[in-house]
């Protein structure tokens, strides 16, 4: 399944400045593996040392937050957009 991945500014150093890239995979985990094969190191910025989504990184498949779906096992239908969005805090 080919998907597009929106890359936040902070991770664009891995994608050569590209804000949107393509990746393949039937699940979010597959997409992240494929993304890391093309852009080494980016997966480590999205997942923690235990292989789970980092606390301050939100990932959406389409319009849905994967934390309310199946997290890394969330299906990524062909053509869907995956968005990686760092959490913002402040007062």
Contact 58, 45 (CB under 8 A): no
CATH number, domain at 33? 3.10.20.30
Residue 62 lies in a domain: yes
Residue 9 lies in a domain: yes
Residue 91 lies in a domain: no
Q: In 3-state terms, what secondary structure has residue 79?
A: coil
Query: What's the CA dihedral at 11, 12, 16, 21 to 10 degrees?
Result: 100
CA atoms within 13 A on the CB side of 76: 28
Query: How many domains, in total, are found in the chain?
Result: 1
Of 89, 40, 50, nearest in space to 72 by CA: 50
Q: What percent of the chain has pLDDT over 70?
A: 97
Task: Identify the pLDDT of residue 91.
Answer: 65
**pTM for the complete prediction?**
0.93
Tokens describing residue 15: 């994608």
Per residue in 19-47, pLDDT (tens digit) is 999 999 999 999 999 999 999 999 999 99
* Domain of residue 47, residue span: 2-86
Per residue in 2-17, pLDDT (tens digit) is 999 999 999 999 999 9
Task: Identify the pLDDT of residue 47.
Answer: 97
């Amino acid at each position: 399944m080919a998907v597009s991945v929106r890359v936040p500014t902070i991770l664009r150093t891995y994608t050569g400045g590209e804000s949107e890239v393509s990746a393949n995979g039937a699940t979010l985990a597959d997409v992240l593996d494929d993304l890391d094969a093309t852009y080494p190191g980016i997966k480590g910025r999205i997942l923690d040392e235990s292989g789970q989504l980092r606390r301050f990184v939100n990932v959406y498949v389409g319009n849905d937050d994967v934390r309310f779906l199946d997290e890394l096992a969330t299906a990524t239908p062909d053509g869907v957009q995956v968005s990686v969005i760092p959490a913002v805090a402040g007062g």
